[in-house]
Structure formats: structure tokens, C-alpha cells
Amino acid sequence: MKSLMDKCCEKCFHSPASPCKDYIKCRRQGPLCHEDESCRAKYKAFLEDIHLPEDSSRRQILICAGTGCTSSGSRKLVDALVEELQKQGLQDRVSVKITGCHGFCEQGPLMIVEPQKIFYTRVQVEDIPEIVAGHLVGGQVVERLLYVDPATGEKSLTYETVPFYAKQKRLVLANCGHINPEEIADYVANDGYLALTKALFEMTPEQVIEEVKISGLRGRGGAGFPTGMKWSFVRAAEGDKKYVVCNADEGDPGAFMDRSVLEGDPHAVLEGMLICGYAVGADEGYIYVRAEYPLAIHRLKIAIAQAEECGLIGDNILNSGFNFHIKIKAGAGAFVCGEETALLTSIEGNRGMPRPRPPFPAQKGLWGKPTNINNVETFANVPLIIRNGGAWYAAMGTEKSKGTKIFALTGKVNNTGLVEVPMGITMREIIFGVGGGIRDGKKFKAVQIGGPSGGCLPEEQLDLPIDYESLTSAGAIMGSGGLVVMDETTCMVDVARFFLNFTQAESCGKCTPCREGTKRMLEILTRICEGQGKEEDIETLERLARVVKSTALCGLGQTCPNPILSTLRYFRDEYEAHIRDKRCPARVCQALLVYTINAEKCTGCGSCARACPAGAISGEKKQPHVIDISRCIKCGNCMQKCKFGAVEKA
Amino acid sequence: MANVTLTIDGQKVTVPAGTTVLDAARSAGIFIPTLCHDPAIPGFGACRLCIVEIPGMRNLPASCVTTVAEGMVVHTASEAVIEARRTIIDLLLANHPQDCLTCEKNGDCRLQDYAFMYGVRQTSFHGERKNYPLDDSNPYIIRDQNKCILCGKCVRTCQAVPGRSVIDFGYRGFNTRVVTAMDVPLGESDCVYCARCVAVCPVGALTYKPMAGKGRTWEIQRKPVTCTFCESGCTFELNIKDGKVIGITAKEPGPGRPLCLKGRLGLELLYVEEPMTPMLKKDGRFVPVSWAEALGLEGVVARMKEVEGK
């Protein structure tokens, strides 16, 4: 017996060819079919290997092997640690385990010492000997590697006390960072596949759908369609063949919740898809994951292979008569393929362009068959709902938006990373609570929510309880849950221009308003940022935004004007300052800046004049210098070089 | 199938269930402009010019892909609809050469018609325009991508014939254009010059080269003629100016009518007074060939000569 998933003795007959319905329960409480102390001990030992009891004298070191920590060198830590443990003869007492993403990537590489929950940040190879000798042998926590709260300066010993985590409610992300995503036994030891067992043997497909309906779960991909309702449509749709598709084409800049779930807890997504397949009557599933997520694809492949080997994916799963197979389709990197009809077209082998709805995928989806398509986070919620009941889930959140939502918090905020919070929390709690406030003590200006198609919300909207409806009425969208925090040094016209640049480049080009409209909106915004704005530009922008929003074929086009509309709604004065006064209030738009030298601060050192590539600065030695505005190319070199803060921009 | 009654611009219209709003409106004599809609290959919904207002529906749905429902109310010319149509035409003109004076399609161009109809005299946007070289790489079809409005009718009509699919959309966003495989000029592609694409192009992006400069559209009378070279029985049109047949063009292709170069050349030989020397591609280059070779009759002609000699 090499793993928890293997048979304890010859009495166990479970295999994909001769499945046993008690397989999962057996591995956690077993053996169930026969009494044998030594068999029981074997399972228990494996379970305790995965979850060290709190009083264990053994230690388990979890090293994050998510994309973020891997790129900051966590793989080297694993090798160094294993080597050092061997050197010290600790390999039997201390085990090393890789995990998925913790969501706090900026502090990576992250390391946890269990069962004490000690949380080390930014660990480097050079720190390994100290961790081994000091902590593991000497029992002294390496203080300098603990997390320090930038706001209070306080250190946190365990991950539970890190403010970033303490204020979250991690349900979907519960396993991420704590289990080995490349080991199915880790998932099973953490209640994995119990929901599938429950659905297959204690519930009818209709009851599963009803439970999802009760939970109030809504699509986490952005539009927020009620998941249970979608499932019931697919179940009711007529067809000899049905599909379940997982949309893992996460493309919003800065959003990486789906990637982290796939990398950190792939079996949760597979289990969600299996339950969905059982509920809607499908026997085949596709995961459409972007090729830019090689690690997620790698882990998914491992997870699928292990689940197949254990008989959890395939024919006659757990002797229930339910068949389900899962395939991976790697997307070629088109943002629009996150749109469901474009995604299906892409799986079919065609250019990923959206098609009109109706017919909706539930009626005519993949290869014209009824298809249930949900995103990664939605599927990852399903096992929780089935295991704990829909009512448990519905107890969290607001009236119309239930459960938790993962946000990718980024921008000018102290703590950036993945944040899972209950629906209905305010933006202020996320940014100033979990996020620890604005970086460098600057003033908050706006938060962009929902990716490039989302909207920018100002200070006065910070106390808005977050749910699908409230965000829409405020001019933003839930989207995939990207949160970009901006401070007073951000120009809102420039922000709108940035997002339009993205949507314009990612438009598939099929429908006229999106293809041509985004281009013209981008050109107008660029012109305004360059000081060439005209009085009628705002009106033209509003007209274009209105028409593109109301006539575009797919969600990309219908939402791409949101950054313009929301900034016009809340920051119209900035547009007017650019157009009328030729002034950028945030001092970002280069063409509108005027550099001057404050004669009182200038010491006449001349370093600015030497740095100026245009020869625009002149002045006598030790006398205040002046900038010739007509020759200034606004490169900002002088400002960077001045040690006295004498160069000012306005 | 059951009938459905809806109200379009205040007029009660009864049509079979499953009909599109566009077809329902047309059946009642109500005009809705379209650019990408092809009755033979419906359901694309790309140009968005056929949008209408339907109270209760989110946004302005495209009538070509919206099916009717009992009691539905449709406004085809409300303020929002007109604004959207004018803006879409404005956007198309912003990225379209304004050389109607010399355009082969002048007088028979949908974009021109709709600009006239909606009073869009000129575009209000002055930004980047497409600037692609003219594809003059073959003897039959002139492809001016700068005039292309990306309605996709050519793509779909080409894909409708099994085994062709010579063109498809390529690139993204503003750079989207219709391309051959590997984006080579048409002359180097697998195109067989059946000119289905030319027949469906609503603007001057695809024109028939042998007809270039021979007459304005309003001077030409068209007379349908059925090709008898094979059992498909495709329809072509004789283009007659001043009583003379100046060229043969394909009539709108329908299902089961593949059209082909051989058929068109054969009809040219039959009807056109001074037909152009036929060209065939050999070793990747177009070379003039005999009519017998172009029509695949070399064997027959040789045999005839043989018999004649005996």
C-alpha cells in the first residue's frame, strides 16, 4: 500500500473495472467491508501523514508551488530543504510537501510549518539552514521571516493571525496552499469526493439541482446567472448526448483566482463537474483552459489521471452506473474565448468568435448538443454545497447573491493577492481591511472592478455591499472579480484609455460596433490624454458607448464601454480638465505636463541641466535654473535627478 | 407549425413560429437594412445594422437572429434604433475609402444605399483607416480589403461548398480581415474562382475583374442563364450593355449550386462577343490556355480531330 487510495489488503476489490460504492468513505473510516485492525491502522497512518495531529512531534513543511511562488524560486527551496533535512538526519521526522497557491503571492515564496501553522514569507535558499537548525532542531521560530503588517509593524506567527487571511472567509480556497494538488489522497483526506458519493447514492439528479438552487449559487464567471437554473435547463433539454464544459479561460488582466484553484485544488473542479454531469445527464466534460496556464494544465492532467486510476472518472463510477469522462482543451490565448459561445466554437476547432444567443448553450451548445457551461470557481463551489447543504451556503451573502466570492486584489493597496470574502461585504472592508489600506499613505481614488469590462467606483461607493445587482447599478460589474485599487496619482481618463486599448485589441472583429467602435473610442481617449481633446468629444464618447453597449453581439462588446461610462459618471471633471484646461489633474498624461523649477528650492547644482536630453534647462552655477518649455520634451529626467525636489510638474 | 402574431411598428403581423423578426418585418413590407444577412446561410448576426427595439429585451437585438414570440412588440425605427444604425454606418464609413466615383460597385452598394437612406453624408470620425495593398494576384477577382466591411458573407458562402473554405477571418480587433490560409494573396491560395464571394459581397471589396471598367451598374441589364455544363444547373447572369453581353457573373449562390470557373468560362465562350483568353494556374502561376483546355475538353477535341482525320 503506497497511498491512501490503494487497497489495504486482498479483500478490497475496488478498481475502475470492479468499483465499490463505499470506496471514498472506506479510505477515510475504513476498511468498511471487513474488520481488520492492521488495515485500519494503515489508513489511519496515511491520514495522519496528510494531517499531522496537533500534538505530533513530527513536522510537515508546506512550500507553495503555485505560479507566483514558483517564479520567485520556491522549487529551489524544496530541493534545498530536502537536502538539508537529510544532512541533519531529519528526513523521517520532517516531511516536505508542495502545495498550490496561497493567494498572497507578493510575499512569496511562502512556507508553512505544520502542525504549528508557522507562516514564513519571502523564504530564500540561504534561509533554509537557519530554518532547519533553528526552528526544526532548536525549536526557535525564525522571527525575521515572519510576516510584518505594513500598517502596524506587528509580526504574525501563524497564517491564521495574518490580517490578510484573518479577515477572509476561505471556503473555495480552503485547500489551496494546504494540500498537495498533485496527490488525490490529500484531497480525499480533506473531504474530497464525499459530495460526489453523496450525490450519486443519496440524491437523484433532480435533488442535486434543487440543492444547488436552494444554495443560490450564481455563475462566478461574471454574468451571475443562477447555476441551479442553468442546470435544470440542460437537464430538461432534449438530446441523446450532453456536455459539461468548464470555462477556465481566465483572461482579465490581474485576475488569477481560477488559475489558483486549478493549480491548488484541481480535484474540487473535477468533482464539481462530475456532480454537474450527474445532475444534467451528461457523460462528457471539457475543461477549456488557456495555454498560458501551463502549471494548471499540468496539475489538471495529473488530477484527471489519478481520478481515472481510482475509478472516480470513467465508466460506472463507484458502481453507480454513472459514466463521465473529462478532456482538457488548451485555448490559444484569445480573451474573447472566455465568452461561452466563442469558447464552444473554439473547442469545435473553429476560430473563437461568439455566436448569437439564443439558442443558448443549454439548448444548442457544443456540437449542437445541450451543454452546461460554468466557470472554474462555480464548479469549485459545488462540492461544498452538496456536502454541507444548500441552506448552509445560502446563509452567507446578500438576498440575491449567496456564498463567497474570490477577488484578485491588486494595485496601490498594501496587501495584494487572492481574497475570498462573503458576498455583501463592502469594498471598504476589502480594501482597507483585508487589503490593509492604500500604499505609501496615499489617498484612495477609485477601484476598478470586474476586469477590463468593469467600471471604476469612487470613494462614495466604498460602502456599497458587494453583490451582482449593486455593482451593476453602480456602473460596474462583478466580472471575474478583479479589483484594481487606484490612488490619487492615477488619471481616470488614462485608465479608461488603458482598458479600451485592451478590449480593442481583444475584440474578435466580428460585429461592427465592437470592432470599429472600440477603435474610435480609443482614438478619442488617446487624443484627450494628449491634450488634443475637443469639447464635443465627451458627447461623442457617450454616444459611441451607448450604441456599442446596446448593439454589440457578445458580452465583450456590450461591456467594453463600462470603463468610459463609469469614469465619465464619477470623474467627469477630469475629462473636462483635460479638454478645456489642457491639464491632467493627476499629473499622469505626459503631453499635458509642464515642468518648472522652483527657484527657492533650486541650488543651482546643474544636475538637471546635464540630465536634460533636449538642452531645455539653463542657468548660472549656484543660481536657480529655468526650463525652456518650448524645448522641453517632458521626459521627466530632471525631476528624477534633482535631489532637492526643486523640479515640479503641473 | 403554429402561427405567432406580433406587432411591428404598430402593424399586426402573423407568421409561423420560428420566423426571425427580420423575415416577419419583410413579410409585412417593413424595411430593415442588413449587410451580413444571407438568406441562404442565416444566423450570423455580425453587422448589427438590422437591430430593432423590443421592449422587455436587454439592449437592441439584431432582428436577423431574433425569433418572433407571441405578443412581441417591435419598433424598427425608434429613436434609439436610428441613432444606432446611423452610428454603425458612420463607423463603417470611418474605415472605408470614399472613392465611390470610381468604384465598380457604385450604384449597387449596400453601404452607399444605407448612408443615403440614413443621411450619413460623411463620417464624423477621423482616425486610422485600413491600408492594405490591392490584391490583384489573379485574373478573375479583384480584392480590395480596404473596402471590406467584414460582413463575412464571402467567408460563409465559400464554406458552404464542401472542400472549399478558402477564406476565413484572421487577426483581431481593428486588424481583423478576411484572409486565405497563411494570408497569401488569392492567386496563391486554393481559390477556384467560382466567384460565389463576389456575388454576395454587398460592397466593392470583391469585384469581377473581366468586367472592370466596362460599364456602370445602372447601364447594365442582367439576364439569368442556367449553366448546362453539369447537372448542378447553376444560375449565372448575362451582363448586357448596349445590347452586347459584356460579361458573365454568378447569380447569388444557393444551396446545391456550387458554381465553378469552368461553367462561367463556358458561358463566356457562348455569350460574350470577345471573351477574355482563359487563364489557368500551372505551377503556381496563371498562364493563358486554349478554350479546349480551360473547359477540360482537350481529350474530346483530340478525339474529334482524330476521327476527322480518318
Minimum distance, in Å, between the CA of residue B160 and any CA atom of chain A: 15
A351:B168 CB<8 A: yes
Compare all CA atoms of chain B with the CA of A521 and give the residue at the minimum distance: B125
**pLDDT, tens digit, for every residue of B253-279?**
776 678 888 889 899 999 998 888 898
Give the three-class secondary structure for B235. strand
Minimum distance, in Å, between the CA of residue B18 and any CA atom of chain A: 12
Which chain B residues are Cβ-neighbours of A537 within 8 angstroms?
none
Is the per-residue pLDDT at B102 higher than 90?
Answer: yes
Judge contact between A5 and A27, C-beta under 8 A. yes
What is the distance between the alpha carbons of residues A484 and A489, in angstroms, rounded to a whole number?
Answer: 14
What is the distance between the alpha carbons of residues B86 and A517, in angstroms, rounded to a whole number?
Answer: 13
**Mean pLDDT of the residues in chain B:** 93
- Across the interface, which of A507, A516, A550 has its CB nearest the CB of B84? A550
**A-side interface with B, Cβ within 8 Å?**
334, 351, 353, 355-356, 358, 504-513, 515-520, 523, 540, 543-544, 546-547, 549-553, 558
Minimum distance, in Å, between the CA of residue A549 and any CA atom of chain B: 7
Of chain B, the percentage scoring pLDDT greater than 70 comes to 99
Judge contact between A424 and A137, C-beta under 8 A. no
Compare all CA atoms of chain A with the CA of B91 and give the residue at the minimum distance: A516
**Rg of the Cα atoms in chain A:** 28
A520:B127 CB<8 A: yes
pLDDT averaged per 10 residues in sequence order, chain A, 650 residues:
91 94 92 92 92 90 93 93 92 92 92 93 94 91 92 90 92 95 96 97 98 96 92 96 97 90 97 98 97 95 97 97 97 91 96 93 96 97 97 95 95 93 95 93 93 91 92 89 93 96 95 97 96 95 96 94 95 96 93 91 93 93 92 91 91
B46:A553 CB<8 A: yes
What is the distance between the alpha carbons of residues A119 and A111, in angstroms, rounded to a whole number?
Answer: 6
A512:B149 CB<8 A: yes
Residue that is written with C-alpha cell 464601454 in the block: A561
pLDDT level of residue B63 (50, 70, 90 thresholds): very high
B174:A515 CB<8 A: yes
Judge contact between B90 and B120, C-beta under 8 A. yes
What is the distance between the alpha carbons of residues B215 and A25, in angstroms, rounded to a whole number?
Answer: 83
Q: Pick A129 or B252 by higher pLDDT.
A: A129
Report the 10 Å Cβ neighbour count for B254: 14
Is the per-residue pLDDT at B163 higher than 90?
Answer: no
Task: Determine contact: B169 vs chain A, CB below 8 A.
Answer: yes
DSSP state of A432: I
A351:B47 CB<8 A: no
Which chain A residues are Cβ-neighbours of B59 within 8 angstroms?
549-551, 558
pLDDT at residue B74, as a whole number: 97
Is the per-residue pLDDT at B310 higher than 80?
Answer: no
Query: How many CB contacts within 8 angstroms connect chain A with chain B?
Result: 111
Which chain B residues are Cβ-neighbours of A356 within 8 angstroms?
43-45, 62, 65
**pLDDT, tens digit, for every residue of B129-142?**
999 999 999 999 99
Is the per-residue pLDDT at B195 higher than 80?
Answer: yes
Which chain A residues are Cβ-neighbours of B22 within 8 angstroms?
none
B62:A553 CB<8 A: yes
Mean pLDDT of the region B170-182:
95
B46:A519 CB<8 A: no
Interface of B with A in 238-277 (CB under 8 A): none
Question: What single string gives the DSSP state of each residue in A531-559?
Answer: T---TTHHHHHHHHHHHHHHH-SSHHHHH
Q: How far is CA A290 from the centre of its chain?
A: 14
Query: What would the grid cell of residue A271 be?
Result: 468533482
Which chain B residues are Cβ-neighbours of A518 within 8 angstroms?
173-174
Which chain A residues are Cβ-neighbours of B84 within 8 angstroms?
513, 547, 550-551
Which chain A residues are Cβ-neighbours of B173 within 8 angstroms?
504-509, 515, 518-519
Mean pLDDT of the region B160-189:
93
Name residues whose C-beta falls within 8 Å of residue A532's C-beta, 6 or more positions apart in sequence.
none
Task: Determine contact: B152 vs chain A, CB below 8 A.
Answer: yes
Query: What would the grid cell of residue A403 be?
Result: 456564498
